[in-house]
Amino acid sequence: MRNVQISVSFDMRAPGWGTPTAELYQAALEMAAFADRIGITRIGLMEHHGSEDGYLPRPFMLASAMAALTSRAKFILGAVILPLHDPVAVAEEIAILDLISNGRFNVIFGAGYVPSEFAMFEKSIHDRARLMDRGIEIILRALSGERFEIDGRPIFIRPLPIRAPQDIVMVGGGVPASARRAARFDVGFGPMTPEVVDIYLDECRKHGREPREYWKPKPGMPLAIHLCEDPDQGWAAIERHAVHVITEYAKWAEQEGDGSNSPFKGLTDPAVLRQAGLFAAWTPEQLLARVDMMEDRQTIGFQPLLGGLSPKEGWKSLKLLERTLPALQAKIEALS
């Protein structure tokens, strides 16, 4: 059975030459409410810190505002860079958002990879694996209602979430260690690459557990689709914004020290980027044709404010999505 999700995501990048930040945030709230109303299944929010273009640093805060304006869509917060944060504070944020949203979200924890972010939070990037394990343990125990001490620190939080924490928390990542971590803690898995999904499933079997929620990214599927009447005109509208997004991710990869192996290397050329297919300007007909090639547990993603894109342009894509959605949902159901 194909479990295909339709997602609208926001990273809130606002380069100086793009749409002003205040306008983007207002538009994001309105778009989230619209997406929920027309039947979009997921709303995604990301996290990074110290980015000159204002990349969203507090996804829990924005998710809470969006949750108050929606009633059906599920929020995916990811990746939240757990080693940067106090896990007790994160546990409290999870509990409050679960109550506000009535159980409509998952949080994906990532280990992080940008040295400047770790420096800003006075953490060492070399400690990220230890901080991930310790943080997840604290969060799961605290959200289960336990009163306990760890390393001499007393921990007790209230209120508690609606759901069991194992049904809320997921681990993200693209390496085998992330898959093993997700299985060991009995939580869901949000991988960056499909190759590690089988490791997660195998590890769950070794622990005698059924897997929690997970998905399987497929190479070649766009990170974001911009729906348009004419693909060339649609690409012209998003091109500068798409290049900006890739350029900024490439800078972070270079900080990590493996810029030569970065998946974004060479994609700052607009023609190369369009050919690579990470971002796509498609007509509704092109989108519908691609659904037949989708596999189980994949996502059809849209970013209507991509890289500071004008909300006016983003609304064009969302309105086309509204018109296309009945046919899109019918095709997905037919494949199930």
Per-residue confidence in pLDDT tens, the chain, 336 aa: 468 899 999 999 999 999 999 999 999 999 999 999 999 999 999 999 999 999 999 999 999 999 999 999 999 999 999 999 999 999 999 999 999 999 999 999 999 999 999 999 999 999 999 999 999 999 999 999 999 999 999 999 999 999 999 999 999 999 999 999 999 999 999 998 889 999 999 999 999 999 999 988 776 679 999 999 999 999 999 999 999 999 999 899 888 765 445 667 778 889 999 998 999 999 999 999 998 888 777 889 999 999 999 999 999 999 999 999 999 999 888 876
**What pLDDT is attached to residue 99?**
98
Q: What does the block give as tokens for 283?
A: 């007509």
From the centroid of its chain, how far is CA 61? Answer: 15
Rounded to whole angstroms, the Cα distance separating 35 from 7 reads 9
Q: Is the peptide bond before 79 cis (omega within 30 degrees of 0)?
A: yes
Do the bridges between strand 279-282 and strand 169-173 make them parallel or antiparallel, or are there none, so unpaired? unpaired
Tokens 């064009």, residue? 316
Burial of 159 (0-12, 13-18, 19+ CB in 10 A): exposed
Contact 226, 280 (CB under 8 A): yes
Tell me the domain boundaries of the chain. 73-206, 224-335
**What pLDDT is attached to residue 22?**
98
Rounded to whole angstroms, the Cα distance separating 62 from 84 reads 19
**What pLDDT is attached to residue 220?**
64
Rounded to whole angstroms, the Cα distance separating 28 from 95 reads 23
Nearest in space to 233 (alpha carbons), one of 200, 282, 270, 288: 282
Query: What are the beta bridge partners of residue 154?
Result: 149
Looking at domain 73-206, its CATH superfamily turns out to be Luciferase-like domain (3.20.20.30)
**What pLDDT is attached to residue 255?**
82
Query: What are the beta bridge partners of residue 45?
Result: 10, 77
**What pLDDT is attached to residue 216?**
80
Rounded to whole angstroms, the Cα distance separating 91 from 110 reads 15
